[in-house]
Amino acid sequence: MSTLYAEAAGVLEGLFRHSGGLKSLTYADKIKSKRNCFALVCQTLRYKPLLDQLVAAVPELSKVVKKTAPKKDAPKKDTGNKPSSLQMALYYIAIYDLMFGKDKKIQGGGFVKKTVLSHHNALKQALVRLKVKAKVATDEELLPEENRMSESQRLPRYARINTLKVTEPIHDVAAVRAALRLPDDVSFELDAHVRDLIVFPPGTELHTHESVVSGRLILQDKASCFSAFVLQGERGSDDLGDVIDACAAPGNKTSHAAMLVARKTSTRPIKVFAFDRSATRLDLLKRRMKGAGADGVVEACLQSFLDVDVHDPKYAHVTSILLDPSCSGSGMSNRLDHLLELASMKQGFEDEYEASDASDVQARLQSLADFQLEALRKAFSFPHVQRVAYSTCSIFEKENEEVVVAALRASEAAQTPFHLVKALPTWPRRGVVIPGLSHDQADCLVRANGLEDGTNGFFVAYFERSGAKRKREKTEAQKERKKRKRKACQERKTAGNQPQ
C-alpha cells in the first residue's frame, strides 16, 4: 500500500479515536504529503455514507471489512502492531480512490488493494443500482445534502492581515494589494464586519503565496475571527490588562488576540497567556506564534485551564479571557471531521457505531456542555477579569445558549456578576430564545450559519462584569460628548469662514 494511503489511514483512525482534529492530525510533522493527505481524508469522509452503502451491497467484501472493525469494548489504544481500525480505514480509502478518486485506481499494492479489486465489478454494479433507485445521474447526488459540494455552497476564502508584520496602511483594496503583493488578477474585498480581514472567491489558492508563507497573511475563517475581535477589537480599547486564551491550540485566535493587544499603548508589556494541556498541540501553537511574529506577546502554558490557580500573582493583571473550548464541531462546513461526530459521536467506522441511538449523541453533547460550562465558570472566577468572550463552532443550543443560561445563573450569586453585552451589533443573525434567556439577552449573542452567512457555523457570547459594564458605558458616553463637541466646533469654524 502506498505511503499516502498509510498516512491518510492514520489520520482517519485518529479522527474516530478523537485524538485530534482533521487539520492538527494532517499537518503533524510525521505526515510527509500533507496537502494530498488532507484532500484524500476529506474526500473519504465526504463519501463515507455512500461507501457504507456500497460495502453493504457487496456481501463478500462486507464480511472482510467487518472483520477489521473495532469492537464496542475495544480500548482507545490498541496494542497490536497493526490496529484493526487502521486496516479498516485503509479499506475505505482504497474503495474511495477506486470508485470516486480522480484517476479511479488504487495506488501501490498489497492485500487491501487485491481484495478491493477482486470486488470492483460488484461495486460498480451496486453504484448503478443505487443511482437507479434514487433516480439520480451523478455520484454527488447520492450523498447526504450536508456532504455535497455544489458551487453555491462553497465558502469564500478568508485571510487575516497580520498587522504584527504588516505595518503599511491598509485602508482600501489598493493598499492591501500593494502591501501583500497580490497580483492584479486575484480579486478580493475587505470584510464588512471584521477589521483586517479580506475575502477572496471560493477556491482561491493562497497556501504557497509569499505573504502566507511569511506570516503577513493568515488563512482563517471569518467566524473564527469573531471571538478575538469582539474581545480586543470591537471592545476593550481601554483595557490594558493581560489576556488569557483558555483553550488556545492550534493558535489562530491566539495570534489574532496578540495582534490586537499589540496595537495598544501601555506602560507595561501586555501578555497573552495561551493554555493547552497537550504538549504536541502546544508545540504547534508555539511554531505558529513564531511564524506570526506573536511569540514576544504570547506565553504558551502547558496546563489545563481548569487547573490554573486564579489567585496566582502571575495572572494578577489578567482582565479578559477568550474561551473557545472543545465542542462538537457541528458548524464546521469547510472541514469534514465533524461528519464523524454527527454520524455517530462514537469511535470507528462500523455500522454498530454509526447506528447508535439518539441517547448516545445526547450523552456526548452533554459531556461537552458540562466541560464548556465548567470552563466558563472558571473564567468568571478570576478576581480581576472584567470581560469574557465565549465561542464554539457548534450549531447546537446545548453547547451555546444553554451553556450561557447556566453560566449566568451561576454568576448571579457573585458580588459583581457577569452580564451579556451585545457583540457585533451589525451582524444580522442573533441567538436563539430559550427558557431562561430573554429576547434581549438572545439579541446579544452572535450566531453564524454555514451556508446562508458565507462562513462556518459559529457562536459567540460576550460577557462583562457589572462594574466594567458601567465603566464602559460611562466611557462611551464621554467619547460621544467629545465627538459632538468637536463637530459643533468644526461647524462654528466653517460658518465663521463663510463670506459675508
pLDDT per residue as tens digits for the range 15-57:
777 666 777 788 777 888 888 898 899 889 889 999 999 999 9
Instruction: Decide: 41 and 11 in contact? Cβ < 8 Å.
Output: yes
Per-residue model confidence (pLDDT) at position 190: 96
- In this structure, what CATH number is given to the domain that contains residue 234? 3.40.50.150
Do 56 and 164 fall into the same domain? Answer: no
Do 271 and 286 fall into the same domain? Answer: yes
Q: Report d(CA 298, CA 273) in Å as an integer.
A: 6
| Residue in this structure with the C-alpha cell 450561557, named with its chain if needed | 404
Do 104 and 210 fall into the same domain? Answer: no
Alpha helices by DSSP H, listed for 188-312, are 210-213, 222-228, 252-261, 279-292
- Most confidently predicted of 24-28, 164-168, 242-246: 242-246
Which of 219, 234, 258 is the last residue before a domain boundary?
219
Per-residue model confidence (pLDDT) at position 191: 96
Whether the pLDDT of residue 470 is over 90: the answer is no
- Give percent of the chain with pLDDT exceeding 90: 58
Amino acid at 292: A
Do 454 and 320 fall into the same domain? Answer: yes
Per-residue model confidence (pLDDT) at position 212: 94
**276 marked as part of a ligand binding site:** yes
Per-residue model confidence (pLDDT) at position 420: 97
Alpha helices by DSSP H, listed for 328-433, are 338-343, 351-354, 358-380, 401-411
Whether the pLDDT of residue 494 is over 70: the answer is yes
Do 210 and 241 fall into the same domain? Answer: no
Average of pLDDT values for 3-20? 84
| Residue in this structure with the C-alpha cell 474503495, named with its chain if needed | 95
Residue 468's pLDDT band, with cuts at 50, 70 and 90, is low
More confident: 180 or 144: 180
For 62-87, letters b (16+ CB in 10 Å) and e give: bebbeebbbeeeeeeeeeeeebbbbb
Within-domain flag for 192: yes
**251 marked as part of a ligand binding site:** yes
Instruction: Decide: 388 and 418 in contact? Cβ < 8 Å.
Output: yes
**414 marked as part of a ligand binding site:** no
Within-domain flag for 357: no
Q: Report d(CA 447, CA 450) in Å as an integer.
A: 10
Within-domain flag for 485: no
Measure Cα distances from 109 to 34, 58, 106, 457 in Å. 21, 22, 8, 40
**413 marked as part of a ligand binding site:** no
Do 212 and 332 fall into the same domain? Answer: no
Per-residue model confidence (pLDDT) at position 331: 80
Q: For 375-434, how does the pLDDT look when each residue is reduced to its tens digit (9 = 90+)?
A: 999 999 999 999 999 999 998 999 999 999 999 999 887 778 999 999 999 999 999 999
Amino acid at 413: A
Q: Which three cell numbers stand for residue 17?
A: 479515536
User: What is the domain count for the chain?
Assistant: 3
Instruction: Decide: 283 and 254 in contact? Cβ < 8 Å.
Output: no
Whether the pLDDT of residue 492 is over 70: the answer is yes
Within-domain flag for 264: yes
Instruction: Decide: 199 and 158 in contact? Cβ < 8 Å.
Output: yes
Residue 356's pLDDT band, with cuts at 50, 70 and 90, is very low
Helices and strands in the chain: count of H runs, count of E runs: 19, 12
The mean pLDDT of the chain is 86
Q: Which three cell numbers stand for residue 337?
A: 471531521
**489 marked as part of a ligand binding site:** no
Within-domain flag for 499: no
Say if pTM beats, i.e. exceeds, 0.75. Answer: no
Beta bridge partners of 272: 243, 298
Per-residue model confidence (pLDDT) at position 360: 63
Which of 219, 235, 254 is the last residue before a domain boundary?
219
Average of pLDDT values for 445-464? 90
Q: Report d(CA 149, CA 96) in Å as an integer.
A: 16
Per-residue model confidence (pLDDT) at position 86: 85
Whether the pLDDT of residue 354 is over 50: the answer is no
Do 240 and 340 fall into the same domain? Answer: yes
Q: Report d(CA 459, CA 434) in Å as an integer.
A: 15
Do 9 and 113 fall into the same domain? Answer: yes
**253 marked as part of a ligand binding site:** yes
- Residue 492: strand, helix, or coil: helix
Do 276 and 139 fall into the same domain? Answer: no
- Give percent of the chain with pLDDT exceeding 70: 84
- Residue 220: strand, helix, or coil: coil
Question: Does residue 393 have an active-site annotation?
Answer: yes
Whether the pLDDT of residue 126 is over 90: the answer is yes
Residue 346's pLDDT band, with cuts at 50, 70 and 90, is very low
Average of pLDDT values for 299-323? 97
Do 271 and 300 fall into the same domain? Answer: yes
Do 283 and 140 fall into the same domain? Answer: no
Q: Which of 315, 311, 338, 329 is nearest to 245 (CA)?
A: 315
CB burial class (10 A; 0-12, 13-18, 19+) of residue 339?
buried
- Residue 178: strand, helix, or coil: helix
Average of pLDDT values for 177-205? 93
More confident: 169 or 291: 291
Domain that holds residue 87: 3-147
Residue 467's pLDDT band, with cuts at 50, 70 and 90, is confident
Within-domain flag for 496: no
Whether the pLDDT of residue 106 is over 90: the answer is yes
Q: For 247-283, how does the pLDDT look when each residue is reduced to its tens digit (9 = 90+)?
A: 998 899 999 999 999 999 888 999 999 999 999 889 9
- In this structure, what CATH number is given to the domain that contains residue 213? 3.30.70.1170
**249 marked as part of a ligand binding site:** yes
Q: Report d(CA 323, CA 290) in Å as an integer.
A: 22
- Where on the phi/psi map is residue 274: left (φ > 0), alpha (ψ -120 to 50), or beta? beta
For 24-47, letters b (16+ CB in 10 Å) and e give: bbbebeebeeeeebbebbbbbbbb
Within-domain flag for 57: yes
Q: Report d(CA 481, CA 371) in Å as an integer.
A: 44
Beta bridge partners of 279: none
- Most confidently predicted of 158-172, 231-245, 300-314, 319-333: 300-314
φ/ψ of residue 242, rounded to 5: -75, 165
Per-residue model confidence (pLDDT) at position 471: 63
Do 313 and 215 fall into the same domain? Answer: no
Residue 345's pLDDT band, with cuts at 50, 70 and 90, is very low
Within-domain flag for 491: no
Catalytic residue among 42, 225, 327, 393: 393
Residue 472's pLDDT band, with cuts at 50, 70 and 90, is low
- Where on the phi/psi map is residue 3: left (φ > 0), alpha (ψ -120 to 50), or beta? alpha
Which of 126, 147, 168 is the last residue before a domain boundary?
147
